[in-house]
Structures are given as structure tokens and as C-alpha cells.
Structure 1
Amino acid sequence: MTGDSTIRGTRLGAGPMGEVQRGEAAPRQRVDYWCDNGHHVQPWFAVDAEVPELWDCPRCGLPAGRDEGNPPAPHRHEPYKSHLAYVKERRSDADGMALLDEALSKLGERKGRQRPTGSF
């Protein structure tokens, strides 16, 4: 048993606070949202705040709308594309072959001009 008079687990100024210390809370409203999986979300908004049409469902991550009978459709996610897939969207096979031939000819010219620096 200790003899000091400290209260453990608190900090200076961490007393009970009520409306008197904090001031009055702003008036707020609860808005209902439903996602495509049937989850019901009820976030709080200030009465004078603009209420968004869509809200992300915290349970499944799908978008939730304010109409229970007609929830918004899930977002369509594009599959992962490799760098090569993006290049193929921009260039045709003929363009790719022309670039390859140009690069190989430049490489061949550079190799032909280089002199050996020593024997191995």
C-alpha cells in the first residue's frame, strides 16, 4: 500500500466533464443508409450539415444509399494490369516490332564500334 495521494490512471484536468464545461452540443440528426449486402448504417450529422447521398458501409466497404429498397450497386473494380498490358494498349504489334528493330540495330552499331579493353 502506498502512502501518496495520487489518483492512478488520470491526468491533470481529466475530471468529469458535462455540458457546463464543454458547452452545448450542436443539434444533430441520424441518417439511415443501406448497402447492397443489406447492412444498415446510421451515422450522425449536424442538422445544418449537407448529408451525402452515399456512405461507405463500415462492415463490408460497399457504397450505401439512403433508399432501403434500391441500394447502390457495388463499384466495378478493374483487374490489375501489368506494365506490358498498358504498353500494348498504346502501341500495336507492328509499332513494337519497329521499335525493337531500331533498338537492336543501335545496339549492334554500338557493339561493333567498341574495342576490347583487355584480355580475360
Structure 2
Amino acid sequence: MSSNGHAIRGTRIGAIQALHSERGEPVPRQRVSYWCANGHETVTSFALYIEVPTEWDCTCCGWPSSRDQHNPPQRRTVKPYKSHLTYVRERRSEEEAEDLLAEALAARAARRGELI
């Protein structure tokens, strides 16, 4: 490639960052460590002027973590997924379900002109 000024100039990966005068001054930061009940440490960087949260989600397991390494927050209980049928069964007894089914089948048969 010739050096007549037509070559594309760039930077390589890992090159030194652009000068501060071009990009502005970086915000002063603080690094904060959080620990979960599984013993994982999550290190997060925050600006110096903000209020640091008391809890943060662990990046390894997703459980809540706090800044106190020796007393991390307990795992939250996760409610299992309930289907529509499960909610219906909680509201209706078996006898009510049988009555509703019989009514629905009778109404369907009547619409079709069938005899029961």
C-alpha cells in the first residue's frame, strides 16, 4: 500500500484510548463488591456522586446480594407457575366442574341439533 494519504488509518484492538481532550474527562468512579448467599462476589462500578444500592443481583446465580459479605440476604422463594386449569381447580369443586361440563355439552348438542 502506498503512503500517498489514501490509506485508511485506524487503531488496533487494545490500543491506548483517545486523549481526554477529545472525549472529555472520565467521571470519577468507585468499585463496590456485593456477596450473595452462594458466596459469589459481584464487583460493580458506580459514579462517586450517586447513592450506592444496598442490594444487587448476583451475576453468577441471580440471587440477591448485599455489601455485607458475612451476612448476605436470604434467597427469595419463587412461586411456581400456575396454569389456568390450576386456578380453576382452586375455585371449583369436582362436583361443580362436572355440572358445568354437563351444561356445556348439553348446550353444544342443542346448537348442533343432536339428541342427548
Interval containing the TM-score (normalised by the shorter chain): 0.7 to 0.9
Give runs of aligned pairs for residues 1-120 of structure 1, distance below 5 A: 2-3=1-2, 5-7=6-8, 16-112=17-113
How far the C-alpha of 1:68 sits from its partner, in A, is 0.9
Cα deviation per residue 1:45-76 (whole Å; 9 max; x = unaligned)?
A: 11221211211111222211111111111222
Taking the aligned partners of 1:50 and 1:28, their CA distance within structure 2 comes to 12
How far the C-alpha of 1:8 sits from its partner, in A, is 6.0
How far the C-alpha of 1:87 sits from its partner, in A, is 1.7
Unaligned runs of 5+ in 2: none
The total of aligned residue pairs comes to 109
How far the C-alpha of 1:3 sits from its partner, in A, is 3.1
Look up the equivalent residue of 1:53 and give its one-letter code.
T
Taking the aligned partners of 1:38 and 1:46, their CA distance within structure 2 comes to 25
Q: TM-score, normalised by structure 2?
A: 0.75
CA 1:16–1:109 in 2, change beyond 3 Å: closer, same or farther?
closer
Q: Which has the higher strand share?
A: 2
Cα deviation per residue 1:10-46 (whole Å; 9 max; x = unaligned)?
A: 5xxxx95122222222222121210111111221111
How far the C-alpha of 1:6 sits from its partner, in A, is 1.7
Q: Percent identity?
A: 49
CA 1:92–1:9 in 2, change beyond 3 Å: closer, same or farther?
farther
Taking the aligned partners of 1:53 and 1:85, their CA distance within structure 2 comes to 37
Output the aligned Cα RMSD. 2.5
Cα deviation per residue 1:69-118 (whole Å; 9 max; x = unaligned)?
A: 111112222233333112212333233222112112212222336xxxxx
